[in-house]
Structure 1
Amino acid sequence: MLNEAHHVPSVGSDKVCSLAEAIGLVRDGDMVALAGMATQSAPMAVVREFIRQGRRQLGLVCLVGGIGVDWLAAAGVIDRVVCCAVSMEQFGTCRQFARAAESGRVRVQELSEWALLARLAAAAQALPYLPIRGLVGTDLIAADSDNLRVLDDPFGGPPVVACRRLIPDVAVLHAHRADRAGNVQCEPGARWADASVMPKAARRVLVTVEEIVDSAVLRRHPDRTVLPGFLVDAVVEVPHGAHPTSLPDRYDYDTRLHREWVAAARHNTSSSAFLDRYLHTPPDEQSYLVAAGLGTRNKEQAGQDG
């Protein structure tokens, strides 16, 4: 069942557009659900376009945010985040995000992964809430009593936590391929729970992909289709659209660029210089890839140390 607020485009219509046009689905102040897990499969091309266009007061929903959340915080794009964690895993803390949260410039609502997925799943199923067993006995319930309530089990069991539905304005994800009608495929190694539920919970869905292919290509492996076209509002072909995070079965995360950002993010002046070099100055994705060195380094080298 679809969230009743979900906009359903006409089936079979051409959903392909430019990245700049697709960002038109997002308005300043919207709540944006970003799929992906820390260093893996993040929709980074969309993150970069938000920064290029100078978007403001966006909210984020993410399970485990990574370098993209840190860039958005450093650029002043976001003012609130609902998440389970924000981390660059082996590369360390997202310092710009942490600094923004500590100063109050970005408000943070922390949830367990199960609770956040329940809030999104409730929206996807047009339910007011879904119950879970977790969080009982934690401070998270009192900290967010507007969205989390302890309820008695009507069947006589122990209490449960009702997780109020969360409806993002826009869900964004990056995948391997799609056809022009917006049917989206991922390879098995790149399938995350958030990428399945976020588009079904959101009002609008924006997908970037490595390549646009003919529908006949998708029909060769129908089991790899993760989203039907009628759920998707816009699809954009953006090679290396998850860079510098990885896209499993296609390319690894870029160790060098992560480490460069970690060093830059320690200070506001150096983080601003990094954003200028890689995000503000390059006018488009192709120029960003050249700045990031992908014009001279192949996809295997992008993930090597050093």
Structure 2
Amino acid sequence: MYKLLIVDDEPQILEGMKRTLDWAEYGFHQVETSETKQDAIAKSVEFMPDIAIFDVCIGTDLGYEIIHKLNELRLPTKYIIMSGYSEFEYAQAAIRCGVKDYLLKPVDRSKLQKVIEKIIVEDLNGTLDGIHRKDMNTDPILGIPYEELSKLTNRILLMVKAEYAQNITLKSVAEPDGHPIPDAPPSYTGVTYTQGNWFILKTRGGESPEPLNKWEEFRASNERAVKSSTFGFTPDLSMMPIQMQNIKMVWQKYYPSLMTGSVDVDTELPKFNEELKQAGLDEVRAEVQKQLDAWRASNKR
């Protein structure tokens, strides 16, 4: 029913992407691949895919520039960009081309699944009836989420799967004694302010970093706490995937150095704020405020 085109200059990645999802189950009965700009344009015109997934770099050519040329031909194709680079400029160019999403390599299976399902329902007017959803985000043998694995490990799994055309898991590439290959530790995410954090900020410092009556102060602090009027509100930003990806990339670029004090804050912070705006932060804030106003109205807050 649907047609898919995958464009990447690495044959192993192409084969791995063909097996990342059960495309036939989603109704894709024709899956084509291309390794060059010329072949990608020719196949796009020839069989007009419903969805095309482009790597950001195809040899010396750029995927979004190819998409721009295809847009001039007014093809009905919906495009997805994948890239091994967390570069804000690439994501900006992708937005200008009207791509549906920007995925970082190695492509997260669950994210790809969500993007494909979203396009099928919202753009192709299809349904997901009868589709057996698998947990694409967890290794089926060890039960370890793929997002907790390093990029290198995920890339190895993708390429090994392509090479042997089978569902290779971490257990398959474990050491002889059965222990999984060591992986990088989970990344540090940052501080979430809670009532306890506020207590620490208010009581620590001065000549007595650890006040002798801290537990009394802690209980008094809790008694003074007021329930937030937004408690229970969670914004839905699924309709803004590219802006969220852009913001994430800018955050990852500046946040670690700012948190560790390894840069001049007065110099870097203005750059951080400006790039967040360019990434679409104001659009996201406006959408969150819109949803918050509607939530408050419906909950009489």
TM-score normalised by the chain length of structure 2: 0.28
The structure where helix makes up a greater share of residues is 2
Give the structure, 1 or 2, with the largest relative contact order (CA under 8 Å, sep 6 or more): 1
Q: Quick check: which has more Rg, 1 or 2?
A: 2
TM-score normalised by the chain length of structure 1: 0.27
The structure where strand makes up a greater share of residues is 1
